Copies of this chain bind each other. A is one copy, B any other.
Amino acid sequence: MNVVSYRPKPEELSYTFGGRPALGKVRPGTILELYTEDCFGGRVQTVDDLPSQVCEFPYLNPVTGPFHVEGAEPGDTLALHFISITPARDWAVSTTFPHFGALTGTHTTAMLQPPLEERVWRYDIDLDKNVAVYHARNSDFSVALPLDPMHGTVGVAPGANEARMTITPDAHGGNMDTPELRAGVTVYLGVNVEGGMFSIGDGHGLQGHGEVCGTAVESAMNTVVAVELIKGVATPWPRLEDDLHLMSTGSARPLEDAYRISQHDLVTWTSELTGLDTLDAYQLVSQAGQAPVGNVCDTNYTMVAKLPKAYLGGAADVYESAHARLRALGSQYTS
């Protein structure tokens, strides 16, 4: 088993997908043990650390990477299987941020109203009890919420010589902020440049649907990822697979376009897998498909389209069984 560990120094963190040299090179089949910083670069530690004061734009939402995957060329697909995602500290934070979030005016949904108050919440993380404990700021209210660790941000270098802020989700991945991206899941990313150049960051101890206030339970993470390369198979938008489901994603504005992209991909993928014609696949997805909301706060919104493999009539073997193989590799690693 080829296991490699990376813990980036602060000055090695990346803030874009694309436009950066590789942090390291990995061979397909490698297991990566990564440390990822939280979206504030670890600078928001107490309720008095207001992000607008302790953080500096554009040094937000750092990612660990990019990693160059040997042999990856445009037209291939990277498979990243998340073996484990473990909060790295016994605390995490969440905040409002001026002109950010779904229930406030923003720089694009521009309003004349003053911004909402900037406020920080600090959560206790208890891995034994598997909870993050919420504490209200203006009362004694407190409640333990079950951990469901995930990564908000994973992606590759975009095509067309673009470089994009890590905060933006698009066809290259990025800050999709979907709770579906948890341990046990394989993410498929289409390769746009030599080496693929993937990065991972923005761990969440848990996240509500849509990340309505703009941030989740933001946590540094120790994350283990198994890397595979599927040659000669393109992937237009990030896809996910767990043991029971296939998933397509879409990131766009307005939110219905994110929904359309993800459902369109799931319908055409279902058609390819089952041999159903497009309309028959459309009908099947219409009744059996799910649509978990990713984010409704970032520069693009993200929706996931999700179908139980059980309804595909035995035709759910995708990407040369990469998920099953990586799942097995992950079990081997864990045991």
Contact = CB atoms under 8 A, between A and B. Distances in A.
A93 to B, nearest CB: 11
Interface in A116-130: 116-117, 119, 121
Contact of A96 (B105, B265, B282, B311): B282
Contacts of A15: 160-161
Contact of A256 (B102, B138, B139, B143): B102
Interface stretch (A23-31, A75-83, A205-213, A322-330): A205-213
Nearest to A144: B311
Interface in A151-167: 159-165
A105 B104 CA distance: 8
Given A209-B290, A259-B210, A143 B284 contact: yes
A199 interface: no
Given A111-B260, A112-B116, A275 B208 contact: no
Interface stretch (A2-10, A63-71, A182-190, A246-254): A246-254
Judged by DSSP, the binding face of A is loop
A18 B255 contact: no
Contact of A113 (B114, B265, B303): B114
A136 interface: yes
Given A216-B286, A253-B253, A111 B119 contact: no
A288 interface: yes
A136 B276 contact: yes
Contact of A164 (B107, B162, B286): B162
A261 B112 CA distance: 11
A110 interface: yes
Number of copies of this protein chain within its complex: 4
A291 B212 CA distance: 10
A19 B161 contact: yes
A81 B156 CA distance: 39
Contacts of A232: none
A252 B208 CA distance: 21
Which 10 A-B residue pairs are closest in the complex by CB-CB distance? Answer: A209-B291, A58-B160, A254-B254, A110-B264, A255-B255, A213-B286, A208-B289, A113-B113, A136-B280, A163-B163
Given A103-B264, A111-B111, 10 more contacts: A19-B162, A57-B160, A103-B267, A104-B105, A134-B283, A141-B274, A145-B287, A162-B162, A162-B163, A291-B293
11 contacts: A112-B116, A112-B267, A143-B284, A143-B313, A161-B165, A210-B263, A212-B289, A213-B285, A213-B286, A253-B256, A254-B254
